Amino acid sequence: MKLNIKLFADGAVKKDILHMYKNPNIAGFTTNPTLMNKAGITNYQKFALDILQSVKNKPISFEVFSDDFDDMLRQARLIASWGDNVYVKIPITNTKGEYTVHLLEKLVAESIKVNVTAILHIDQIKQIMPIMKNAPSSYVSVFAGRIADSGYDPLPIMKESLKLISVNENLELIWASPRELYNVVQANEIGCHIITATSDILKKLPTLGKDLFEFSLDTVKMFYNDAKTSGFEL
């Protein structure tokens, strides 16, 4: 199955990132503080600069983690200085629910490439588009997986998001937090620019478009071989 969508690997484990970097199908990378925490990273800047020694010609996003707008700006400028391929992830709001619009305005004015993240509602995109319509190369990350987790169909939101950001050819929509490989197919079909995926999803890519009769037989063989390996008897 031919994919036009770009695949970004989502994670914070160095060996996984370096492995994916060698994969020509992986066009870029994203991280976040939660993934870094799970990976046991304690020195944010040291980790980022270490990764950037190897990841030089593919985009990678690192997120600010302050909750104060002035400090977010300081962090964003620092992160942006790490490399031309670095995109600064800015959450749509801080923890108080205050929109980061004014922060984004300053960053856009400085031509800093941003990745506006944690978006789940179409009105959130409408809040930032007066600013983002003038942005340099940047991403808008809509968490389609979390929308689906809430019992809502993410497809209408993703389609509307594509329309809203189309006023600026520098903007690309990211289908974030996918839950299964089929999300890659869905995102590709609607013309989404990018989908982020963890290694658990990316390792399933070889099964994309696989003949279902063949897949069925492989499944039967798996059950048979696992039962045999376990030494089951009745």
Domains of the chain: 6-207 (3.20.20.70)
Residue 89 bears catalytic tag: yes
If we measure between CA atoms, which residue out of 90, 29, 88 comes closest to residue 56? 29
- Condensed to tens digits (0 to 9), the pLDDT of residues 216-230 reads 999 999 999 999 999
Q: What is the pLDDT at residue 106?
A: 98
> If residue 175 lies in a helix (H) or strand (E), which one and from where to where?
strand 171-176
Model pLDDT for residues 154-174, shown as the tens digit of each residue: 999 999 999 999 999 999 999
Regarding pTM above 0.85, the answer is yes
- Digit-coded pLDDT (tens) for 93-104: 999 999 999 999
- How far is it, in rounded angstroms, from Cα 8 to Cα 191? 15
pLDDT of residue 144: 98
* 3 state DSSP class of 220: helix
- Residue 66 to residue 76: CA distance in whole angstroms: 10
State the DSSP code for 231. Answer: T
Q: What is the DSSP letter of 207?
A: G
Q: Give the active site residue among 89, 113, 203, 228.
A: 89
